[in-house]
Structure 1
Amino acid sequence: MIKKVLLFIAVIFFIACNTEQKEKKTSLNVPFEKFELDNGLQVVLHTDKSDPVVAVELMVHVGSAREIEGRTGFAHLFEHLLFLESENLGKGGLDKMSARIGGSGANGSTSRDRTNYLQTVPNDALEKMIWAEADKLGWFINTVTEPVLAKEKQVVKNEKRQSVDNRPYGFNQQIIDRNLYPKDHPYNWQVIGSLEHLQNATLSDVKAFFKKWYVPNNATLVLSGDFDSAKAKEWVRKYFNEIPRGEEITPLVKKSGKVNESKSLYFEDNFARLPMLTLAWPTVELYHKDSYALDILTEYLSQGKKAPLNKVLVDDLKLTANTSMWNWSSELAGQSQLSIRGFNNVDLNKINDGIKTAFKNFEETGISDKDLNRIKAGLETSFYNSLSSVLGKGTNLASYNTYAGDPGFINKEIDLTLNVTKEDVMRVYNTYIKGKNFIATSFVPKGMKNLALKDAKEAIIKEEKIVIGAEEKFDAKVTAQYEKTPSKISRATEPAYGKSPALSVPNVWNDELANGIKVFGIKNSEVPLVRFNLVIDGGQLLEKMDKLGVANLTARLMNRGTKNKTVAQLEEAIQELGASISVYSSKENITISGTTLAKNYTETINLVEEMLLEPRWDTTEFELIKKSVVGNLRQQEANPTTVTRNVYNELIYGKDNIRSKNTLGTIASVEKISLDDLKAYYTNYISPSVAKMHIVGDVNQEKALASLTNLTTKWTAKEVTIPVFKTPQAPNKPTVYFYDVPKAKQSVISFGAPALAVTDEDYYPATVMNYILGGGGFASQLTQELREGKGYTYGIYSQFSGTKAKGPFTISSRVRSNVTLESAQSVKDIITNYPTNYSEKDLATTKGFLIKSNARRFETMGAKLNMLENISAYNLNADYVKDREKIVNEMTIEKVQELAKKYVNPNKMIWLFVGDAETQLERLNELGFGKPVLLNNTKEEIKL
């Protein structure tokens, strides 16, 4: 398998990285075939027979950099529009087809420089996908009408509110880029554009943009996976050949950012609770030889215990929990950024002084050969991991073809990283960072300007006002009227399926060690990697109510060194194996998770054993972790999404149920937890009697079990009784709750009620029932109505989230503030009518997706690991997927109706809103569920 070849090369060159520094050149060879149609479409084919799936990617060389000032956000708007409809796919376009064919979900993304459309499908649907992608380029634009454009503007604007306007530090990148790049530079504005520009976009603007950029000679099509190349070429030519070539496109000139003098700006952030300092320098564009040295420089300065920035700001000054620095190279220009979020009330001037000290220390010592090779190994492993799925390889091939003009650069670029020298690292520091002009932004909580850098000037952001009825009206259900684009072939009929791939369930082995550890494994030799999870049951369930957060602190501290290794030494030991290991906690367990090269599997498990059995219990690290957690909790207080999650859990489970509590704890509880509390938790509850090991990868059962010998003999079992917290029943009547976040540009909603445990007989049938309601993405009624029909939201979902205990059924979304009531009314109508309007077509769509998607269910190691975790956690058969197929095949409309009535009742639900009470609270009286309960009173003058 090509994957195995790739990772074998990774092993070889990881070893090479630890030898004497000399020029390195990989023999990496990702095979591909490239050809070009007469109309200029460039096509790249890569075959990989390891799974019966194909990734299809269409990359168009247009991003926000190809826009003009005053009409920003168009490229991203088109990413949305092209999924909606085309002349031959009809309304719903790729999204509807994806549900029917069992695809991963039609998806896309927009950057400064390109827009891509991608998904992985069972290989029997390849011709369908080629037909559909051709329809986007040649038979799409006529379907864009005034109502379609008006609706999608609202969706994109909601995405901007969600990702920028309504989140902490959301405006930071906008402020940096508009000062780092001159006004006439195409990186001066953000990819998502501005609300004003989006609203001002006319239909003629949009059509002109499409005509110029969405042409075959500006696009790359990549097919990657299990398919017949000759047949694929035939289909590509059949469906794409007659699309006319567009006008010739002149490449944009590479142009770096320009900072004539350093500039310092501050912003009082409505959603920030901690101060954050960011510094940004202009650097170099994509594929410039210096970009690879900058990647290494920025990682060395900020990542890990030995990083110069962390030594000063975390360990010495104790101003922050971590630092982050990265290099961002785009097609035309690049930038390096350093961002540090301080602890509560930290003066950003002190952080700035610490940065200067760290830089000075680096100037004196530079980077060692050992650290250089360690970082190279990590970057190399990351590169190969990006090629470990057919979709990953497809995206890489498309990107190299688009930016470098050569998909074969996939076999060359890693050499540019491997050949970076110590001198290169210091040279790029001196060239782009040391003493150079930069942009500084100080983001501080409202009313705390005093924490910003001295002499910083206020950054002005034009924020949206919340006005009821401010958005234009449209009817997205109106059918577009247009004259169909002619074609030389019949395109109106969707191509037939190819030969159906058979469901192949991986072979699972299992065993139980002498001390009680249950072990589950899947041997998978496609790549020479091993992934594993050691899951120890308990987690927060074993905490006391006055010491919430102990499990989380225990897990975090287990990452910080061992009895015989400092934090830095442990980090180095892990990285030298080309591995990653992390310990983390959740509501129900503590997990040690890792990935390693197969040849280093046993050595990696030895480190896991050391971390598990010999924690360092370092008091300094303990105090730093506590400060970090407290900082996270403070920030959560102002983040509408985390506020919603915390409040909703308390309403679902009740204040006295530990399942309602934040796994981080509370500020009060964390501050009073001692190191002895962690030791007591570890001693009493970290036991093999409640542990399960899951192993997937290029290691057989014998070797996997042999690696656990020391854990068997050294880790003594003890009895651990995990408390059972009974989940309340669904409420007998609906209640509306409101949590006020003043000036919020969106309302975050969570509607639901206690429902089912995974082990309940109805659980999986209920998830099948929910597919068309809100679990099926664009196939769901909630998405079709609130996003596609009304433009109220960027996304809305419903799900059952039980574990071994009953969990809630929840409908969740973020809607624009001025349609908070209207959104809730739409949800209420949909779930009220769902049992009666569920149709045979809905059932067929559900069955088609859930059965056909099994072809790609086990493509990745992560998917296989998840399978093992399900088997061990819920005592499932190894072929439980086949059991679930039977449930799907036997599902009826009557059964769907019965389940919907039983578990999705609007009159027995909690209706939680987190948003701006001043403008939205009183309106919710109209929902018909009684007077809303205000959970926090930020403004005494609010009257119901």
Structure 2
Amino acid sequence: MRKGWLVAVAVAAALSGCSGEVANTASTAVQTQASVSLPAGVTLVESYAPKAGEIGIPFNKYQLANGLTVILHQDHSDPLVHVDVTYHVGSDREYYGRTGFAHLFEHMMFQGSEHVADEQHIKTVTEAGGSMNGTTNTDRTNYFETVPSNQLEKMLWLESDRMGFLLPALTDEKFEVQRATVKNERGQRVDNRPYGRVGEVFDQAFYPAGHPYSWPVIGWPADLDRATSQDVRDFFSRWYGPNNATLTIGGDLNEAQTLAWVNKYFGEIPRGPEVTSLAKPLVTLDKTRYVSFEDNVHLPLLQIGFPTVYARHEDEAPLDVLASILGGGETSILYKNLVKDGYAVQAQASHGCSELACRMAFIALANPAKGGALAPIEAKVRESIQEFEARGVTDEDIDKVKMQIRSQTIYGLQSVSGKVSSLASNETFTGEPNQVEYDLKRYGAVTKADVMRVYNQYIKGKPSVVLSVVPKGGEALIAAADNFTPTNPPVADKAVEGLTEEKPQVAQSSFDRNIEPPAGEPVTLHVPELWRSKLANNVEVMGTQSTETPTTSLVIYFDGGHKLEALSKAGLASLTADVLNDSTAKHSTEELAQQLDLLGARISFSANDYQSSIRVTALTENLDATIALLKEKLLEPGFVAADFERDKQQMLQMLQHESSSPSALASKGFSKMLFGDDMYLGVSANGTLSTVPNITLADVKAFYQKQYTAGNAQIVAVSDLPQASLMQKLAPIAALTGPGASAPTEPANTLVKANTVYLIDKPGAAQSVIRVGKLAMTFDVDGDYFKSTLMNYPLGGAFNSRINLNLREDKGYTYGARSMFVGGKEQGYFYVGADVRADVTDKALAEVMKEISRYHAQGMTAAELKFTQNSISQSKAMDYESPYDKAGFIRTIQRYDLPVNYIEQQDKILANANVEQLSQLAQKWLDPQSMGILVVGDKATVQPGLEALGYKVVDMTL
């Protein structure tokens, strides 16, 4: 646990944004002749490669005759490609009363097209060993796949078919299913989530009536009900033409072949209606507006927002620096004035920018231990703003933000998907893919005077919007009485404007698109070359060299964690990690945070069920200084009483907050059902409201001595440095001493009973959380556990699995459902989970159990086995791409003491698996009578239906 858990309150979505506004560019001049022979109708627009010492992403930019922009980036480090199609349309192109279309269309685009059957798009990508998704925000919608490089042509066939041939396959039935799915998504992410409505309530007060940002991206429920399938067709025809899209491909590709494929599959798609940019008038407020609402929450929340500029405006960079000074982490003024003194559990400032508008936002979660009233919190935020004015801007403030931008840029280059996303976003919003070096320069040019100028221009004395979110019945806690009620313009007559033809031009193809392109030659996996070594204190280090970016990632693992603590003091491992994230004997929390920020590094302590760990991320050029700080934090903790009391109070408030989260309740209830109260796995590693108050600072000190020792430690390292050089730099960690610790493990005392539902009452819940499961196998790489993960894949391990297709696509009960086997060293379990509409809780549970029963009795089919084999075998091309991926691979080998080539054994098992063998595992492990069932929902609503199914309903308390 760490203070960053506020992110889960879903406020971030209201503050995030994209790029926008054409900016200066660091690209080289446009080439007049391609380095490859270009297909007819394809034009090379620009070619870029970073100069010596310059940070950037090399690419070639092309344009087809129909206006489609194509960006290609070659990266042969791994045998994979990432394909991104970004359409410059988001919720900002909707009209009042006709909202939610951009997001609804994100769903519709996965439902098949004229030459791709229903559900076939996702199945094809999955069977190719790839992953895919789509996202929508205020300004753009994108669709992307990462696949082995030999599957590229197939991805272009899929993406082009839904760009040019979607409408013939769009049926009223598909529309209704996806409308239901979006409603379920809204229920799960907005209506059933604490603080889920913050963004939409705030935006209505912040933006003028009818402004493109004044409604939520997911849309208003009434607007979704109002939509028709013709509206959807019109929306597609208006915005999904190739001239409003950017196709970006990065990875292990042959550029000439890729261009030929792009031209073949996309070149014949007709150009869509012309698209013009939206106006960007600066948002203004006539006075400070107060709005509030009650929610099923524990921690009162205050959000204050000031209108500023729009993305890539010349003042964006200095406003970002200002936000960092005011509320950017533990060195900020807000942290000092609100969090440090305990008035708020968390407080932060950010300058979120989207294409049409930005805002300076301040968010604070009030500490109920100090009353929880939001008026004093607002006063302290405004006093902090005034304190900045008196304090001014320091050289370190500027240097810190410059380093943050530089380090974040470098870390963003660690994966092909990250580079492709950057190129695609920059092209969409600026018309220029290369903004990396330009961004570094514009932030590098910010001066102290610039920061004070934007403060005076946009913040000082300016009106703002102040939102209070308080617990049910907590109206007295709001910052001030509401003085604003949104006014709504008339509902728009049409979903779109600008369609010039009643029947849009239909694409004609010169080849048979019904033929799915074959895969290319099988790719050769680039399994990392691993090395092992030991520090002078005998701590094992296992690592690999990765030269794609000049960075180093380390994780120090300490065997123990939650299992090492007494259950009467559950949460001790997590609280100890929190305290170790704070002061040392030499420096305060703020001083350490400042030093790390100036290095572009991060050191983070955490703990989970079976280990404590320290994650270190550094630019290799600053690794020595980062290791010095790591040594200080690890070996010379401050154990400051004020830090401990603050961290303990925050942990208690977090636990109270979790009591309002259905998903958190389900997680805790499921663990209790499977393992009981006497085993560490049955009690949350974050502790409980009855255990955390028992923990003292003396307990933390004692746990530190027991946990953070050389005898418990192992290190994973991924760096651009060779082994010898890196081991030299890690030498200071050898000062760590101490023996290993052992923890006796109580056996699980499962509460699972046949035909029984454990029910956690959540009055008024818009959705119910269903969890089904049982105790199962411990982890292995070649036994029943591994083989059962293969067996489960078509049941609930893939999007096209039986459970998900039933509940999501066929019935419209849920946004998503899945099942899995989870194995640890000491215990494993089987799990099925879905968040469903409250009114179909009983029906959804019946369908889950029906699918389990059928699979238990009949097993998988030959077609499902083939799908599983193809998907899992080919997906291995993506297992080792980023430093994070490599570190996870290394840790698995290290933790379970596996041979380096264990993947080869798994490949053989996968290739030789047969239906009978895996079906026998289904018969052994998936008996529905052995399953425990947990439901979190409104008892009054769901209990009668559950009892009608024949289940005994037992109340569960946590």
TM, length-normalised to structure 1: 0.92
1:803 alignment partner in structure 2 = 824
Matches within 5 A, 1:550-569: 550-569=572-591
In 2, distance between residues paired with 1:335 and 1:86? 40
In 1, distance between residues paired with 2:444 and 2:924? 60
In 2, distance between residues paired with 1:26 and 1:502? 32
2:360 maps to a residue whose letter is: S
1:60 alignment partner in structure 2 = 87
Structure 2 residue 73 is matched with structure 1 residue 46 = yes
In 1, distance between residues paired with 2:848 and 2:318? 52
In 2, distance between residues paired with 1:165 and 1:924? 23
Structure 2: runs of 5+ lacking an equivalent: 1-25, 27-50, 489-504
How many residues align structurally?
Answer: 889
Structure 2 residue 242 is matched with structure 1 residue 216 = yes
In 2, distance between residues paired with 1:658 and 1:241? 59
Report the Cα offset of residue 730 of structure 1.
8.7
In 1, distance between residues paired with 2:125 and 2:56? 32
Correspondence for 1:822 among 830, 843, 851: 843
In 2, distance between residues paired with 1:366 and 1:189? 37
Report the Cα offset of residue 705 of structure 1.
2.5
Structure 2 residue 189 is matched with structure 1 residue 163 = yes
In 1, distance between residues paired with 2:706 and 2:484? 53
**What SS class does the counterpart of residue 502 from structure 1 fall into?**
coil
In 2, distance between residues paired with 1:864 and 1:550? 30
Correspondence for 2:336 among 296, 311, 314: 311
Matches within 5 A, 1:657-736: 657-712=679-734, 714-728=735-749, 731=752, 733-736=754-757
Q: Which moved more, 1:442-451 or 1:652-661?
A: 652-661
Matches within 5 A, 1:319-718: 319-344=343-368, 345-456=371-482, 486-712=508-734, 714-718=735-739
1:648 maps to a residue whose letter is: F
2:321 alignment partner in structure 1 = 296
1:792 maps to a residue whose letter is: Y
Q: 1:574-600: CA deviations, max 9, x gaps?
A: 223221110011111110001111222
Q: Which runs of 4+ in 1 moved over 6 A?
A: 458-462
1:89 alignment partner in structure 2 = 116
2:215 maps to a residue whose letter is: W
Correspondence for 2:105 among 54, 78, 85: 78
Q: 1:143-198: CA deviations, max 9, x gaps?
A: 11111000000111111111111111111111111111111211110100011111
**What SS class does the counterpart of residue 531 from structure 1 fall into?**
strand
In 1, distance between residues paired with 2:348 and 2:745? 40
1:36 alignment partner in structure 2 = 63
Structure 2 residue 162 is matched with structure 1 residue 141 = no
In 1, distance between residues paired with 2:658 and 2:323? 28
Change (3 A) 1:459 1:830: farther
C-alpha contact 2:81 2:249 (8 A) present in aligned 1:
yes
2:97 maps to a residue whose letter is: G
C-alpha contact 2:82 2:416 (8 A) present in aligned 1:
yes
In 1, distance between residues paired with 2:483 and 2:921? 59
C-alpha contact 2:192 2:767 (8 A) present in aligned 1:
yes
In 1, distance between residues paired with 2:739 and 2:862? 54
**What SS class does the counterpart of residue 270 from structure 2 fall into?**
coil
C-alpha contact 2:678 2:749 (8 A) present in aligned 1:
no
Report the Cα offset of residue 717 of structure 1.
2.2
1:272 alignment partner in structure 2 = 297
Report the Cα offset of residue 817 of structure 1.
0.7
C-alpha contact 1:59 1:398 (8 A) present in aligned 2:
yes
In 2, distance between residues paired with 1:275 and 1:910? 36
In 1, distance between residues paired with 2:52 and 2:715? 38
Report the Cα offset of residue 863 of structure 1.
0.5
2:225 alignment partner in structure 1 = 199
TM, length-normalised to structure 2: 0.90
Change (3 A) 1:631 1:732: closer
Change (3 A) 1:307 1:51: same
1:906 alignment partner in structure 2 = 928
Report the Cα offset of residue 87 of structure 1.
1.4
1:313 maps to a residue whose letter is: L
Q: 1:223-258: CA deviations, max 9, x gaps?
A: 111111111111111111111111212221113323
2:248 maps to a residue whose letter is: V
1:280 maps to a residue whose letter is: G
Change (3 A) 1:388 1:498: same
Q: 1:375-422: CA deviations, max 9, x gaps?
A: 220122112322321111111111111111121334422221121111
Correspondence for 2:256 among 197, 220, 230: 230
Structure 1: runs of 5+ lacking an equivalent: 1-8, 10-23, 463-482, 938-944
Q: 1:273-298: CA deviations, max 9, x gaps?
A: 11010001111111111111111211
1:32 maps to a residue whose letter is: F
In 1, distance between residues paired with 2:750 and 2:662? 27
C-alpha contact 2:859 2:918 (8 A) present in aligned 1:
no
1:627 maps to a residue whose letter is: Q
Report the Cα offset of residue 449 of structure 1.
0.8
Q: Percent identity?
A: 36
In 2, distance between residues paired with 1:428 and 1:668? 48
1:277 maps to a residue whose letter is: L
In 2, distance between residues paired with 1:263 and 1:626? 35
2:354 maps to a residue whose letter is: S
Report the Cα offset of residue 458 of structure 1.
8.6
C-alpha contact 1:640 1:741 (8 A) present in aligned 2:
yes
In 1, distance between residues paired with 2:486 and 2:850? 42
1:129 alignment partner in structure 2 = 155
C-alpha contact 2:268 2:508 (8 A) present in aligned 1:
no
2:38 alignment partner in structure 1 = none
In 1, distance between residues paired with 2:311 and 2:178? 32
C-alpha contact 1:516 1:690 (8 A) present in aligned 2:
no
2:552 maps to a residue whose letter is: V
In 2, distance between residues paired with 1:690 and 1:260? 61
In 2, distance between residues paired with 1:170 and 1:635? 14
2:791 alignment partner in structure 1 = 769
**What SS class does the counterpart of residue 663 from structure 1 fall into?**
coil
Correspondence for 2:209 among 173, 183, 189: 183
Change (3 A) 1:334 1:709: closer
Report the Cα offset of residue 766 of structure 1.
0.9
1:749 alignment partner in structure 2 = 770
In 1, distance between residues paired with 2:882 and 2:226? 44
1:188 maps to a residue whose letter is: S
1:826 maps to a residue whose letter is: E
1:620 maps to a residue whose letter is: A
1:468 alignment partner in structure 2 = none
In 1, distance between residues paired with 2:434 and 2:397? 30
In 1, distance between residues paired with 2:114 and 2:851? 29
Q: 1:875-931: CA deviations, max 9, x gaps?
A: 111122222212211211112111112222211111111011111111101333x32
Report the Cα offset of residue 700 of structure 1.
2.0
**What SS class does the counterpart of residue 768 from structure 2 fall into?**
strand
Correspondence for 1:153 among 175, 179, 198: 179
In 2, distance between residues paired with 1:617 and 1:730? 39
C-alpha contact 1:101 1:121 (8 A) present in aligned 2:
yes
Change (3 A) 1:936 1:584: closer
2:759 alignment partner in structure 1 = 738
C-alpha contact 1:300 1:375 (8 A) present in aligned 2:
no
Change (3 A) 1:160 1:307: same
In 2, distance between residues paired with 1:186 and 1:680? 56
Change (3 A) 1:346 1:26: farther
